[in-house]
Amino acid sequence: MMISPKLIGSSTARILAVDLSRHVGEEVVIEGWLHRKRVLKSVVFLILRDRSGLSQVVVGEPRAMAEAGALTEETVLRISGTVTENPQAPGGFEVTSPVVTSLSGRVAPPPFDLYRPTVPATLPTILDHAPVALRHPRLRAQHAISAASVAGFRACLDSLGFTEVHTPKVVASATESGANVFAIDWFGSDAYLAQSPQFFKQAMVGVFERVYETGPVFRAEPHDTARHLAQYTSLDVELGFITDHREVMAVLREVLAAMTASVRKRATEACTLLEVDLPEVPERIPEIHFADAQALLAQHTSEDPRGEPDLAPAHERFLSEWALREHGSDFLFVTGYPMVKRPFYTHPEPGREAHSNSFDLLFRGLELVTGGQRLHRYDDYLAALAERGESPETYMGYLAAFRHGMPPHGGFALGLERWTARLTGADNIRRTTLFPRDLHRLTP
């Protein structure tokens, strides 16, 4: 065995851990991080980690054992050796007679053991050391599930005739309310980080009818909770030529089914590792009107929330449990939220104008998606703004789309990190965000 700090350009094709079984008896090259080292009396085991999994390497020659024993975990190695069947090795195969080369040079030991089955570190430690901590298979798995989810989201919408858009993240005025925006110095002018692509995606319905965007949104969220971030990834959808919010809910149902199927298929190992209980997405997700939900809460709990304009987190949990019990569903649509709690562009419920053609989707006790039908007539926008005492001047660019003809339309926004957290049972949304940004955290 030779440990050399130099990478020698080699034409030998590397194989991945997952492919060892197809090369029994052959000389192969594997490359990866030294995940774990086990020094026994007569042998040193090196466990090498690559993007596909782990390989066991057996070092038995005395001088090589000494060199292997001196290696620090997380050193990046190239190892050539012979693939040997061994029922006792993890996966049933191992690499013997290895020649080991270091690609990374000397490294410092990781801030905590990355090879432990559970993560031996607190959340702040994980976040402080994210560039290294995320290599832990359990932490990495969260993001494999996240990536698979987004792939399913896009594939579904592509198949339904949607077009992907990329909209500005810097705007001249706050999108939905004056609060919780980050101010930017824009070449000496005032500007703000976009809280959502809402106005842009609506305008783009006028161009492509059906659009989606997967991008960052920003909330200067002063609450330091397990479910709020200052930047998160919003999966945004908007579509035109609907009758009402029910067509939006139908699209959302397809999207959820596709995201779940994609996670099952593309992140199989991550799901196994995290023991993810993937939900069944019913053909028709059960729904309950806000007023009926309040009546249900009054009837079955010690509280009477009637008259309140919104649902408390405890109410959402109760309703989710009710949906699971009564309908066998992890998902529940609550429709008809009071207009007073919804943004000015919300379409009222015909014949019941204090309520709206909007919905929240609850998933295992938590609000995951908000959506609904929007106003689409210019005059209705002017009236809605006047009613809230807002000037149309502030919204000129946005209103242009409606002045020049927009169809009935609606859409929804789904927070990616929140979705992944609910799927994996993560207790904090920061566990499903690569490098979270919040009130207290701007690094790494």
Q: Does 166 bind a copy of itself (CB under 8 A)?
A: yes
43 token code pair:
């042998």
Q: Does 210 bind a copy of itself (CB under 8 A)?
A: yes
Q: Does 444 bind a copy of itself (CB under 8 A)?
A: yes
CA gap 257, 246 in Å, rounded: 17
**Binding range to a copy of itself, per CB under 8 A, among 59-67, 199-207, 323-331, 423-431:** 199-207
**Binding range to a copy of itself, per CB under 8 A, among 38-46, 90-98, 133-141, 362-370:** 133-141
Min dist CB 210 to a copy of itself, Å, is: 7
Q: Does 141 bind a copy of itself (CB under 8 A)?
A: no
Which of residues 398, 413, 415, 424 is near a copy of itself by CB under 8 A?
Answer: 398
Sites for a copy of itself among residues 213-232 (CB under 8 A):
215-216, 218, 220, 222, 230-231
Min dist CB 271 to a copy of itself, Å, is: 15
Sites for a copy of itself among residues 243-302 (CB under 8 A):
243-244
Q: Does 18 bind a copy of itself (CB under 8 A)?
A: no
Q: Which amino acid is at 406?
A: M
Q: Does 10 bind a copy of itself (CB under 8 A)?
A: yes
Which of residues 24, 27, 70, 105 is near a copy of itself by CB under 8 A?
Answer: 105
**Binding range to a copy of itself, per CB under 8 A, among 82-90, 207-215, 287-295, 361-369:** 207-215
- Tell me the per-residue interface mask from 354 to 383 with a copy of itself, x by CB under 8 A, - otherwise: ----------------------xxxx----
Min dist CB 230 to a copy of itself, Å, is: 7
Which of residues 99, 103, 291, 296 is near a copy of itself by CB under 8 A?
Answer: 103
Q: Does 183 bind a copy of itself (CB under 8 A)?
A: yes
Min dist CB 334 to a copy of itself, Å, is: 21
Q: Does 119 bind a copy of itself (CB under 8 A)?
A: no
Q: Does 391 bind a copy of itself (CB under 8 A)?
A: no
Which of residues 42, 117, 187, 325 is near a copy of itself by CB under 8 A?
Answer: 187
